[in-house]
Structure 1
């Protein structure tokens, strides 16, 4: 017979408490912060894909196709269908003399306009950054106001000022002054762009003077924007038919897309766009390398 003796009042020792693993807790917190960051970035990522990546992909695909009549026979006929043509559109774009003539015009335009605009913007920024100006906010807003005017509206306003029949200041200039003659049209467009963007670039330089960054991004933005010159020549071309529909690369691309220039369609227009993007990219790389070399010197 086994006798079981119960001991009253004895308590069992508590189980030891295992401390929480700080590494695990830190890893969980980092993972949660990363997930939160991705959730906040999702709207931007979706818009970036839809607004930026998708159009680029569509443009690249379109550059390898051309619209040709579906019917056969001597005179064609039938609806237009997309047909794969390989590199034919790029060959047409790269060998089109009008494209390179227009590119030459915008290069000359840049050589005339960018230095003047940058020097004016830098001068205004230095003036506002000094202690001479007592109300810099008022002047900063005044210089920036032209940039707030839509580009097409500003171009129409300057067209009014350049037209001899209605211009308020041309009667006071020497007789024969023509701001829209073939020899002066680029200067007139340069004046329009300088008026619009000097205040914008002035703010960039003013921020540079106060934050002291290494690069002058205003120059790079101006170079890329010059290649995309469109509003000013389109408005001036409406009153000066001698300019043609291919005066600048952007005009050539737009009118090719709209069927005003042959070969027309989205394929050749996309090829022109990609060629312009390639040229702008090369200029951006050259500028960045020059800036880096200047900073290392």
Structure 2
């Protein structure tokens, strides 16, 4: 009996933390999304405001909000930029680190990974000042060589400015995941391929990349979830530019509704919509490609 209960004992701390800090807030948000405040009279005095059942009214208001769909489309465009660029760079760097002819020291590997260790708010502040023309050393250098730098925080470039921060911070983490998967591949496969006359590029394209397919799918899924939840970067850059609105992303809309308009019920409904959309997209993606990608591990 003690042996059977041992795994549950080891899992208990993680399960308690999961229930307290993830499951319970999600359930509470779902509860709030079905409630609203009813104001009686002038809304003054005890009992003038009461919480009542709202049904799906908050969800209707959230989905029909004229600012909700543009924020979703904006995040979609942001993801089309961030995910391919970030994973492409991570894969190339991982392949270079794993290549036998490429001598990359510990310092280089650490330098590639280091941006991931910088909190998103700090990274956004650093890049924000690099984007500002009056204080950016990059703009000064380009001006001296006769190149006019674009305004990174203008309406036409702000999407790429925010995406650049995410790519800079996330490439190192994905590179480590892919590099670890590459190091687990038996070297006998590479030696046999070289005997058959395969070049390093052919080995990378025909052996390494197909084998690390599950790791690529995992990093893609993590990147997709992070894209749907983008918040810190545009929120930090917003005081530096008037091109980023309070509803630039769906999560920024949640923040505005909850802490600016003090409408936690509508914010809860939008949060539930984002959570359900994230689950559906992630589950659908895994069902679409998971069976093929992970079949080699069976």
Same fold (TM over 0.5): yes
Matches within 5 A, 1:115-134: 115-134=84-103
Of Structure 1 and Structure 2, which has the larger fraction of its residues in helix? 2
Instruction: For CA contacts below 8 A with separation 6 or more, give which structure has more relative contact order.
Output: 2
1:85 to 40, 54, 58: 54
Residues 1:35 and 2:36 are matched in the alignment: no
What are the Cα deviations for residues 192-215 of structure 1, in whole angstroms up to 9, with x where unaligned? Answer: 111000001101111222335552
Q: Which residue pairs with 2:178 in the alignment?
A: 205
Structure 1 position 84, deviation (Å): 1.6
Which stretch shifts more, 204-213 or 91-100? 204-213
Q: Which residue pairs with 2:15 in the alignment?
A: 45
Matches within 5 A, 1:49-128: 49-69=19-39, 71-72=40-41, 75-78=42-45, 80-128=49-97
The verdict on how the C-alpha distance between 1:183 and 1:134 changes in structure 2, with shifts beyond 3 A counting, is same
- Greater C-alpha Rg: 1
TM-score (normalised: structure 2): 0.82
Structure 1 position 135, deviation (Å): 4.3
Q: Which residue pairs with 1:288 in the alignment?
A: 286
Structure 1 position 130, deviation (Å): 1.2
RMSD of Structure 2 on Structure 1 (CA): 2.0
Does the CA-based 8 Å contact 1:63-1:270 persist in structure 2? Answer: yes
Does the CA-based 8 Å contact 2:154-2:243 persist in structure 1? Answer: no
TM-score (normalised: structure 1): 0.82
Does the CA-based 8 Å contact 1:128-1:136 persist in structure 2? Answer: no
Which stretch shifts more, 235-244 or 119-128? 235-244
Cα separation, 2, equivalents of 1:213 and 1:77: 63
Residues 1:139 and 2:108 are matched in the alignment: yes
Secondary structure of residue in 2 paired with 1:134: coil
Which ranges of structure 1 fall in alignment gaps of 5 or more residues?
Answer: 1-30
Q: Which residue pairs with 2:151 in the alignment?
A: 178
Secondary structure of residue in 1 paired with 2:260: coil
State the number of aligned residues.
Answer: 261
Residues 1:152 and 2:121 are matched in the alignment: yes
Structure 1 position 158, deviation (Å): 0.5
Does the CA-based 8 Å contact 2:139-2:149 persist in structure 1? Answer: no
Q: Which residue pairs with 2:269 in the alignment?
A: 271
